[in-house]
Amino acid sequence: MTSSSHTKRIDPTDTKGIEAMAHVRAMLTFIGEDPDREGLVDTPMRVVHAMREHFSGYGMDPADELSRTFSEIDGYDQMVLLTGIDIHSHCEHHMVPFVGKAHVAYIPNGKVVGLSKLAKVVEIFSKRLQVQEKLTAQIANAIQTHLQPLGAAVVVQARHYCMCYRGVRQPHAWTTTSKLTGIFLEDPATRSEFLRLISLGQAPAAGM
């Protein structure tokens, strides 16, 4: 059985997909490869499928994820924090990956949202071409806009492959960005609590 038997074919009526496959073939030729050799025959199709998965965030709206809220929270008005959300995104400058973690918090103003929805908002914005600074702001702004909490806070920590194995070649460098709104920006005590809880919320090392 050939490898192509396991790969979903591109629908012949999918004109955008067919066009994208032609561009992938051109890129293979550009780098000095033969797109017709056995190992690469199905590569354009696989790349198109992968690209649709990598950038599926363009077809999703964070408002849909944050629209269902719950108000029966017995007056809860303290911080809600989700730490260690995986980020897999792509730099819009070189279209290479950057990966890391996001830490997201908000202080409810009479309503909360399901925790999985916070992770979904991170995923939606991650699965687009990004710069880390914009990604961080988009997550925080979406939470602030749609939940209207007393404040929102987002910290993103990531390694960028565009500087790990090319350019300055710094494979151990991490980039940290933050976006604070409302009480997180205005109240130093709330901000300090957020940063302390991020540290406490880190996953323990294996074996601990």
Catalytic residue numbers read: 91-94, 132, 160, 162
- Decide if 92 contacts 55 (C-beta within 8 A): no
d(Cα 181, Cα 6) in Å, to the nearest integer?
47
Q: Does the CA dihedral 38-39-43-46 come out positive or negative?
A: positive
- Can you read off the two tokens belonging to residue 56? 């599926």
Q: Report the alpha-carbon distance of residue 67 to residue 29 in Å, rounded.
A: 47
For residues 65 and 12, what is the distance between their CA atoms, to the nearest angstrom?
Answer: 33
Closest CA to 42 of 13, 6, 14: 6
Collapsing DSSP to helix, strand or coil, 67 comes out as coil
